[in-house]
Amino acid sequence: MENQEYYTLEDFNKVAKIDTHIHVFTNRNSFVEQAKKDNFRLLNIMVDLSKGKELIKSQYSYSFAQKKAHPGQYEVVSSFSIEDWDNPDFIMNTIAWLDKSFEEGAIGVKVWKNIGMVFRDKDNQLIMIDHPRLDAIFNHLVSKKIPLVGHLGEPKNCWLPLEEMTTNNDRAYFEEHPQYHMYQHPELPSYEEQIAARDRMLEKHPDLVFIGAHMGSLEWSVDELAERLDKFPNMSIDLAARMGQVFYQTAEDREKVRNFFIKYQDRVLYATDLTDDGKDDADELMQEMHDTWFRDWRFFVTDEVMTSNLVNEEFKGLKLPKQVVDKIYLHNAKKWLNMFPENGI
């Protein structure tokens, strides 16, 4: 009876899965080769890194070349540069650029943390995600039934000293990227202000389908996440690069975390943030991919006691029912992002 209700480690390769947040900006096929071995399909997400339109165009070229070469493995989420913000034609040009990407098969649009944390207009004003000028873009997405993937703000750890952060991966990231470590930049908006701006944007656009990347920057509390999911019925979240936060909360209160995933089983998408820019060793990359995917499968399908370099505490796997696992790994990607609609799986 147990085998009918739960998956096992041995089911890992047998079950169709989708990683809804990866970045592959290279021509080599290492990423897709490992994905096929582990029975994953992929959502390749472009991102405006505040380095101008040329970088976006480069990502576009790589993303659609991979999709053309492997149409059954890749879907693409587009993005847009805001470097031309002060151009009177910014909105018109941006919508035209996005429409071009939709015509070529992009299924969503990504906005990044540079909105709210980095980019300033000609008057040196920081642009937040609820800025009225962005409304036309979001309204256009609603009219086209295109979802918005939003990495807005950062983990709450970002506003803490390194030694007070709850996960080792956050500690390592912000030590390496002090420009994004908001504890060192008190002149910039607070964590609460970032979340409030995102929430105001969603209040203005109730029909916008929104996927909160990285657990919607509410990774530190499943209670806070539940509150937002209850408030915004068109919002879901992906788990990209935030499993450490899930592990940390599980170590503190496993039943609360497990109950969250069961209650909100229709609102969570599996994702990793794994990346290939062609620079790292291919074999090491493929091993990292497999190890990450297999670790997370073990966490969701077993109740084994686990450790991870992401956190310092032991934690126990959630052992979620099959139907919940299938939604997190597959069906929610189809529901929220309409991924691979030609494939009935």
Domain count, the chain: 1
Token look-up 């052992």 returns 319
Q: What is the pLDDT of residue 345?
A: 54
Q: Is the pLDDT of residue 52 over 90?
A: no
Q: What is the pLDDT of residue 2?
A: 46
Q: In 46-147, which ranges are E strands? A: 74-79, 108-111
Q: What is the mean pLDDT of the chain?
A: 96
Q: In the chain, which ranges are E strands? A: 17-24, 40-45, 74-79, 108-111, 148-150, 210-212, 235-238, 268-269, 275-276, 305-306, 315-316
Which of 147, 153, 152, 154 is closest to 76 using CA atoms? 147
The answer to whether residue 276 is domain-embedded is yes
Which of 180, 157, 183 is closest to 170 using CA atoms? 157
**Cβ proximity of 90 and 57 under 8 Å:** no
CA–CA distance, 261 with 222 (Å, rounded to integer) = 9
The answer to whether residue 231 is domain-embedded is yes
Mean pLDDT of 4-10: 94
Q: Is the pLDDT of residue 22 over 70?
A: yes
Percent of the chain with pLDDT over 70: 98
**Cβ proximity of 190 and 159 under 8 Å:** yes
**Cβ proximity of 117 and 198 under 8 Å:** no
- Where residue 8 falls among pLDDT bands split at 50, 70, 90? very high
The answer to whether residue 345 is domain-embedded is no
Q: pLDDT digits over 193-225, tens only?
A: 999 999 999 999 999 999 999 999 999 999 999
CA–CA distance, 79 with 49 (Å, rounded to integer) = 10
CA–CA distance, 50 with 203 (Å, rounded to integer) = 26
> What's the predicted TM-score (pTM) here?
0.97
Give the amino acid at 8. Answer: T
Token look-up 């790589």 returns 62
Distance of CA 341 to the CA centre of its chain: 20
Q: Which domain holds residue 61?
A: 2-337
Q: Is the pLDDT of residue 88 over 90?
A: yes
Check which CATH number belongs to the domain holding 325 and give it: 3.20.20.140
Q: pLDDT digits over 148-200, tens only?
A: 999 999 999 999 999 999 999 999 999 999 999 999 999 999 999 999 999 99
- Where residue 4 falls among pLDDT bands split at 50, 70, 90? confident
Burial of 15 (0-12, 13-18, 19+ CB in 10 A): middle
The answer to whether residue 309 is domain-embedded is yes
The answer to whether residue 180 is domain-embedded is yes
Mean pLDDT of 16-24: 98
Mean pLDDT of 324-337: 98
The answer to whether residue 344 is domain-embedded is no
**Cβ proximity of 107 and 74 under 8 Å:** no
Q: Is the pLDDT of residue 84 over 80?
A: yes
Which of 111, 305, 117, 292 is closest to 212 using CA atoms? 111
Q: pLDDT digits over 102-131, tens only?
A: 999 999 999 999 999 999 999 999 999 999
β-strands 148-150, 315-316 pairing: unpaired
- Where residue 286 falls among pLDDT bands split at 50, 70, 90? very high
The answer to whether residue 298 is domain-embedded is yes
Give the amino acid at 49. Answer: L
Q: What is the pLDDT of residue 3?
A: 55
Percent of the chain with pLDDT over 90: 96
Which of 24, 177, 203, 209 is closest to 113 using CA atoms? 177
**Cβ proximity of 22 and 273 under 8 Å:** yes
Q: pLDDT digits over 306-321, tens only?
A: 999 999 999 999 999 9
The answer to whether residue 141 is domain-embedded is yes
